Structure 1
Amino acid sequence: MGHIHEVSVREATAQDREAIAELMLEAYSQYAAVMPELSWKEYSSSIRESAYGDRPKARIIAEIDGQIVGSVQLFLSSEAAYGKPELGIESPIIRLLAVSPNARGRGIATLLIQESIRRSLELGASTLNLHTSDMMASAIQLYEKLGFQRAYETDIDNGDHLVKGFRLDLDQLQFRQNAVS
C-alpha cells in the first residue's frame, strides 16, 4: 500500500508569500490561453501583488509534506478584496483559491473553503462571498456543490468577461450544522 500524505491547513507566514505567489501563478496559468494577452499580464501581475499585499484578513494554505499545494485569501469586504466599495459587500470574500495542478482531485480546495467558512463564522459573518467566471467551470461546480448560490447583484463586468458573484448563506449553514448535531 502506498503512503497516504496528509493535508494540513494553516495560516500563511510572511516567509510563505513567494511560494504562494508561485503556486497561484502556476494554478491560474491555464487561463492565459483563453484571456487576451494584456488581460493575462494584468491578471498575473495582480495575482503576484496579492501574495504580498496587506489587504487580506487571512492567507490560508494547504500543505502536503511541508510543500504548499493550495492557498486562498480571505478579505472582509468588497473594498478590501477588489477596491470596489460600490459592490456593497461587507462580509468575508474568498479570492484566488489556488491548488497546484499536481495536487488536484484530493479535496484541497474543499478544505480551504471549509477553513474559510470556519473563520467567517468565527468573525460572526452571515455570508461568505466569492467571484469567478465561466472559464473556471470546475470551480463553479465545486462552489455550487458546497452550497454557494449566485449573487447577481455583486457581478462585475470587467470588459473582457462577466465575473459572477456567488454567496454562501452561513446562517443557513449554521442551522444545518446544528440540526445535524
Structure 2
Amino acid sequence: MVPEYNFNYKIRNAKKEEFARVGKLLVAVYSQLNGFPKIKEQPHYYDMLRKVGELTKNPNIELLVAVSKQHDIGGAVVYYHDMKDYGSGGTATQEKNACGFRLLGVDPKSRGLGLGKALTLYCIDKAKRSNSQTMIIHTTNAMKLAWKMYENLGFKRAHDLDFMQADLAVFGFRLALKNEIHL
C-alpha cells in the first residue's frame, strides 16, 4: 500500500491532458537552477523536458505528479521500472534488477511543503514493492540541496554511475531496496 502524505497534495500518475503543464514546469524549474545548463546550451535536453509526457508511451515509465485539491501541479518525477529505459548517459542503463527515477522538479510556488521528499518516498515505496534490488538516481552540483535529502533517505554515492552530459558533471546514487539474506 502506498502511504498517504500529510499535505494537501495527492501523488498519482499524470493524465495526458496534464503532460504539457508538467513539461512547462520542468523546463521552468531546470532552467532556473544556478549552475545548470540553460536552454540555449542544451536544447535537446530541454526539448525532452518539454515533451516529458511522451516518455510514458513506454509502459515501463510513469510520469508522477503531486496535485493539490485545487488541481495545481506542485511537482513531478519520472519513474523507471527498469533501468534499461532510463535514458541517461554513463552505465546506469546497464544496471540489472534496478529501477530509478529522474527529472524530479517542484514548482517554486510549492517549495517548502515537502513535495520533493514526498515524490522521492513515493518512488522508493513503489520500488520496494517491485522485484528491483536497487534504485538508481542522478543529480548535479546545481542540485546540492537534494543530495542531502537523498543521502538521508539511504542513497549512497555510486561513482561508477557518474557521467558527463556535455559540460555538466552528473553524479550517480544507489539505494539498496532489499536486504540480502545470509544463510
TM-score category by the smaller chain?
Answer: 0.7 to 0.9
Residue 89 (1) aligns with residue 91 (2): no
Give the distance between the partners of 2:50 and 2:90, measured in 1 at CA. 22
Alignment of 1:62-73 (within 5 A): 62-65=66-69, 66-73=71-78
Residue 60 (1) aligns with residue 64 (2): yes
Residue 169 (1) aligns with residue 179 (2): no
Give the distance between the partners of 2:102 and 2:111, measured in 1 at CA. 18
Give the distance between the partners of 2:30 and 2:156, measured in 1 at CA. 23
- 1:14 paired residue number: 16
Residue 63 of structure 1: how far off its partner (Å): 1.1
Question: After the TM superposition, which of the residue ranges 23-32 and 139-148 deviates more from structure 2?
Answer: 23-32
Residue 86 of structure 1: how far off its partner (Å): 4.3
The TM-score, its normalising length taken from structure 1, stands at 0.83
The TM-score, its normalising length taken from structure 2, stands at 0.82
CA contact (8 A) 2:31 2:37 kept: no
Distance 1:160 1:67, change over 3 A: same
Corresponding pairs, count: 171
Residue 83 of structure 1: how far off its partner (Å): 5.9
CA contact (8 A) 2:90 2:163 kept: no
- 1:79 paired residue number: 84
- 2:3 paired residue number: none
The two structures, once aligned, show a CA RMSD in angstroms of 2.5
Residue 25 of structure 1: how far off its partner (Å): 1.3
Residue 124 (1) aligns with residue 126 (2): no
Larger proportion of helix: 1
Give the distance between the partners of 2:36 and 2:79, measured in 1 at CA. 26
Per-residue Cα deviation, 1:48-92 (whole angstroms, up to 9, x for no partner) = 132322245211110112111111101134431116584322311
Distance 1:16 1:37, change over 3 A: closer
Residue 109 of structure 1: how far off its partner (Å): 0.7
Unaligned runs of 5+ in 1: 176-181
Residue 23 of structure 1: how far off its partner (Å): 1.4
- 1:178 paired residue number: none
Structure 1 SS opposite 2:171: strand
